[in-house]
Amino acid sequence: MTSPSPSGATARSPRLAEFALALGGFGIGTSEFVIMGLMPRVAADLQVATADVGYAISSYALGVVVGAPLIAALAARVPRRLLLILLMLVFAVGNIASALATAFWPFVGLRFLAGLPHGAYFGVAALVAAAAVPIDQRARAIARVMLGLTGAIVVGAPLATWAGQWLGWPSAFIGVGGIALTTALLIRLWVPSQPRDAQASPRRELGALVKRQVLVTLGIASIGFGGMFAVFSYVVPTLASQAGMRESVGPWALAIFGIGGILGNLVGARLADRHLMKAIPRILVWCLLVQGGFYFAANHLVTGLLFVGLVGTSMALGPALQTRLMDVAGDAQTMAASMNHAAFNCANALGAWLAAVTIKAGAVWSASGLVGAGLAAGGLGVFLAGQYLERRRPARPLAS
């Protein structure tokens, strides 16, 4: 494992640089999560069933899965600040074009385009943040960047949902496009330029994808994080159907989830900095319990909203897995960091799809919680299998 170290120029104002990076995460999070609160509006306008809007959620997530390794490999030698700016510009185009869609399947395709920059942006932003702090504070530095994402769930997605309800759902995506353009400008002004890595190459970055420890960590994220998305993707129609929640309460449900996400993000980062390999399985067990509990809690509005917040704390898994990938990726840091978010969005696609299949098969909406518990258990199984393989055939010393 190599210790992160700053490279290139130092930011004149680190707080402003961090804010610029987090603002990009805020825009990405708003784009990714606002559709959960606008599902009935999108479905009515584009003339499809509400559950079918889950395909647009999965399409965005698959864009992340495709974009992360592709961009990390092809842009291996691009200076990080320039790469972040370009990613925000593509993200802006994808969202503004989504707002202009007049039919469902073109909308689904444009959500795929909007998802392409997601993983690479967060991966590069995490590397920039982690390089600026001591090695035992990396998870907390990553968590501060991720506060833009979790803050989007508390503020961005609810505000965009309200705007979508009053002005039409396209206004939400136009607003996100504006945030992305502003982020590109602020990164240019506030994030210091860094020299490109002359030794970087697509081949070196792709080498991360054949490392067993990297693949195990990505497997944990792809499956174990899916439970959170299985619940959250359908939280508004679930509480509306089973707990009688009014449409006007929907943005509050998203905000409660986001508050849980912020708490989980910060607590999970601290646990990861203390003892990484104990934090990961403990967080997965917690995810299993709270997601399974949502199945029973969703019939009453108060308990349903409480468990929405508890499911949000599943975000604790993010900083831990991002830090683990930095430990095991070797020289392919950009690929590994980007693939972490690709794995999270693979989990998004998997969770949303499995929940949709379950609901369409005749199960109650809250059965998404049982799907979530099963996926969290699957992630825990991947972790335990990885530890078993490590004891049998250690690849290299593990980070604690």
Judge whether 260 and 315 are in contact, CB under 8 Å. Answer: yes
What is the percentage of the chain residues whose pLDDT exceeds 70?
92
pLDDT in tens, 316-349: 998 899 889 888 887 777 887 788 888 887 888 8
Q: Which of 232, 324, 238 is nearest to 277 (CA)?
A: 324
Domain ranges of the chain: 14-392
Query: What's the predicted TM-score (pTM) here?
Result: 0.78
Token readout for 177 is 């496009």
The rounded distance, in Å, linking the Cα atoms of 324 and 399 is 8
Could you confirm whether domain 14-392 is CATH 1.20.1280.50?
no
pLDDT in tens, 290-314: 999 999 999 999 999 999 999 999 9
Judge whether 122 and 25 are in contact, CB under 8 Å. Answer: yes
Q: How many Å is the Cα radius of gyration of the chain?
A: 20
Q: What helix, strand, coil percent values describe the chain, rounded to 5?
A: 80, 0, 20
The rounded distance, in Å, linking the Cα atoms of 288 and 284 is 6
Q: Which of 227, 245, 222, 234 is nearest to 363 (CA)?
A: 234
Token readout for 373 is 């518990």
pLDDT confidence tier of residue 7, bands split at 50, 70 and 90: very low
The rounded distance, in Å, linking the Cα atoms of 123 and 146 is 11
Angle between the N-to-C axes of helices 138-151 and 317-328, in degrees from 0 to 180, rounded to the nearest 10:
140
pLDDT in tens, 369-381: 999 999 999 999 9
The rounded distance, in Å, linking the Cα atoms of 226 and 284 is 11
Q: What pLDDT was estimated at residue 197? A: 67
* CB proximity list for 106: less than 8 A, separation 6 or greater: none
Mean pLDDT value across residues 108-119: 95
Amino acid sitting at position 130: A
Q: What is the dihedral of CA 93, 147, 183, 126, to 10 degrees?
A: -90
pLDDT at 242 over 90: yes
Q: What is the dihedral of CA 79, 82, 88, 92, to 10 degrees?
A: -140
Mean pLDDT value across residues 73-77: 85
Q: What pLDDT was estimated at residue 13? A: 66
The rounded distance, in Å, linking the Cα atoms of 196 and 74 is 13
The rounded distance, in Å, linking the Cα atoms of 38 and 50 is 10
Token readout for 82 is 């320039």
Q: Which of 312, 314, 315, 317 is nearest to 259 (CA)?
A: 312
Q: Give phi and psi for 117, each to the nearest 5.
A: -80, -10
pLDDT in tens, 117-176: 998 999 899 887 777 677 787 788 788 888 898 888 788 988 898 899 899 999 999 999
Token readout for 87 is 């990613």
Identify which has the larger pLDDT, 38 or 336: 38
Judge whether 7 and 124 are in contact, CB under 8 Å. Answer: no
